[in-house]
Structure 1
Amino acid sequence: MLAKRIIPCLDVDDGRVKKGINFVHLTDVGDPVEIAAQYQKQDADELVFLDITETNQKRKTMIDMVEQVSQQVFMPLTIGGGVSSVDDIKQLLKAGADKVAINSAAVSDPDLITAGAEKFGNQCIVVAIDVKYDPETDKYFVYTHGGHQKTDLEAISWAKTVVEKGAGELLVTSMDADGTKKGFNIDLYQKLDQAVDVPIIASGGAGDLADFSEVFLKAKVDGALAASVFHYGELTIKDVKKHLKQKVVTVR
């Protein structure tokens, strides 16, 4: 069995790490390079950086940050937010990213997934999917533009589509669970696990140690991503991995 990955996520707004609840109410939690170095010491398996400003004028700030972080840490880095072209992917990989996450642009131009995968390899292309449950239809729908715009795309079908287009990994965030610390959306990840055969990273809702073992044991995801509990020192990655070993979940 492949080792499960514990992945801190850093939302970056104009060069600073921010955190919110349900994608709003952002507060500043620190410098991304310093925080990345701390996670290196904690033995994080990977780091995900998401540029939540998604504006072209801030692109250079993000490139500079990736270059600085990649010089400080030696774990895989996934960078996303505002990626809208093959050239954007190229710039981020050149700056030191190992993988690039595409979200809104994949919805507006699914062929970008294929173009990126053909040029740089499937393993470099992560499609990030922000998902919200609709009780009226009992379905999950995809949201874009930092979770602000609902689409007509049903999330499970969209996941199948992006894998067919060449995505090598999915980073799926439950907007309903994001920042709530009430646990991962197990139902969502169970449905995704049955639908696609690429690695799935679960995001949104981590609050305590049991949340991590639950999502790995019940949903069979490949990685669990969290922000608040790590940023504010409520849990350490060492704590999480110790707990997972006790629950017979394979970790590095």
Structure 2
Amino acid sequence: MHTKRIIPCLDVKDGRVVKGINFLGLKEVGDPVELARQYYEQGADELVFLDITATNEKRETMRELVEAVAKEIFIPFTVGGGIRSLDDIRKLLLAGADKVSLNSAAVYDPQLIRAGADKFGSQCIVLAIDAKKRSNSGWNVYTQGGQKDSGLDLIEWVKEGQRLGAGEILLTSMDADGTQQGYDLEMLQAVQKVARVPLIASGGCGSLDDFKAVFLADAADAALAASLFHYGKLTVKEVKNALAEAGIAVRKSL
């Protein structure tokens, strides 16, 4: 049985970790280097760092900050935001990232997924998707930090991303993001049906029961969370202990 992963997420703006609700109303919550160290010490399986304004500001990811975080942790480290080229990927891997997260750039240039997988290996390429439910049925993919509807259907984009070589899917529900009302199980299960690579659930986690629900429903291989960790509502260790008690396989915290 594969162990389920718990992944804290650092959304970074102007060098500080921030969090909002439904991608809006961002509030500063702390220093990324200090939070990364805390989550590593608590037993996080991986860490995700997203420079959330790099794409809109048309600039590169803050590599110096990536380097500072990488020095504090010894677990897989995914970095995203502002990546537009193979050279951007290379620079972040050299700065200490183990994987890169492609979101808007992959929508605008899908061949970047293939080129990245061919050059650095599929295990390095995470296809990050921000999706929102349509008024009728299904979900659309959004870009530019959730600001622009790409018109792409979520399920078809997942299939295409996998075909091009993405080694993992990081799926964020814009409807659930920051609400702490639980993961979007309907959306996750729909994607899981077509997923051939690991699926990371993101958006909406607010309690131990939410972690249990997403894994017991077999809706994801890993669960990403931000708010409840940033505000000290739960620690990674508490989450893992509770999952283990519920019979869900996790890697033990130190």
Aligned equivalent of 1:132: 132
Aligned equivalent of 2:168: 169
**CA separation of 1:53/1:207 partners in 2, compared to 1, >3 Å: closer, same or farther?**
same
- Contact map agreement 2:131 2:142 (CA 8 A) in 1: yes
Number of paired residues? Answer: 250
CA separation in 1, counterparts of 2:17 and 2:59? 14
Amino acid corresponding to residue 59 of structure 1 in structure 2: E
| Structure 2: gaps of 5 or more residues | none
Question: Where do residues 193-232 of structure 1 align in structure 2 (5 Å cutoff)?
Answer: 193-232=192-231
Aligned equivalent of 1:191: 190
Cα RMSD (Å): 1.1
Aligned equivalent of 2:87: 87
CA separation in 2, counterparts of 1:17 and 1:235? 17
Per-residue CA distance 1:58-113 (angstroms, 9 max, x = gap): 536x1001111111111111000111111110000000000000000100100000
Amino acid corresponding to residue 201 of structure 2 in structure 1: A
Task: List structure 1 runs of 4+ shifted beyond 6 angstroms.
Answer: none
Aligned equivalent of 2:115: 115
Are 1:149 and 2:143 counterparts? no
Aligned equivalent of 1:96: 96
Query: How much has 1:219 moved relative to structure 2?
Result: 3.1
Query: How much has 1:135 moved relative to structure 2?
Result: 2.2
- Contact map agreement 1:141 1:151 (CA 8 A) in 2: yes
SS in 2 for 1:151: strand
SS in 1 for 2:217: helix
TM-score normalised by the chain length of structure 1: 0.97
CA separation in 2, counterparts of 1:143 and 1:172? 11
Aligned identity (percent) is: 57
CA separation in 2, counterparts of 1:88 and 1:149? 23
**CA separation of 1:57/1:106 partners in 2, compared to 1, >3 Å: closer, same or farther?**
closer
Query: How much has 1:57 moved relative to structure 2?
Result: 6.9
- Contact map agreement 2:13 2:52 (CA 8 A) in 1: yes
CA separation in 2, counterparts of 1:113 and 1:105? 9
Aligned equivalent of 2:34: 34
| Structure 1: gaps of 5 or more residues | none
CA separation in 2, counterparts of 1:228 and 1:118? 35
Aligned equivalent of 1:6: 6
TM-score normalised by the chain length of structure 2: 0.96
Amino acid corresponding to residue 98 of structure 2 in structure 1: D
- Contact map agreement 2:140 2:152 (CA 8 A) in 1: yes
SS in 2 for 1:72: coil
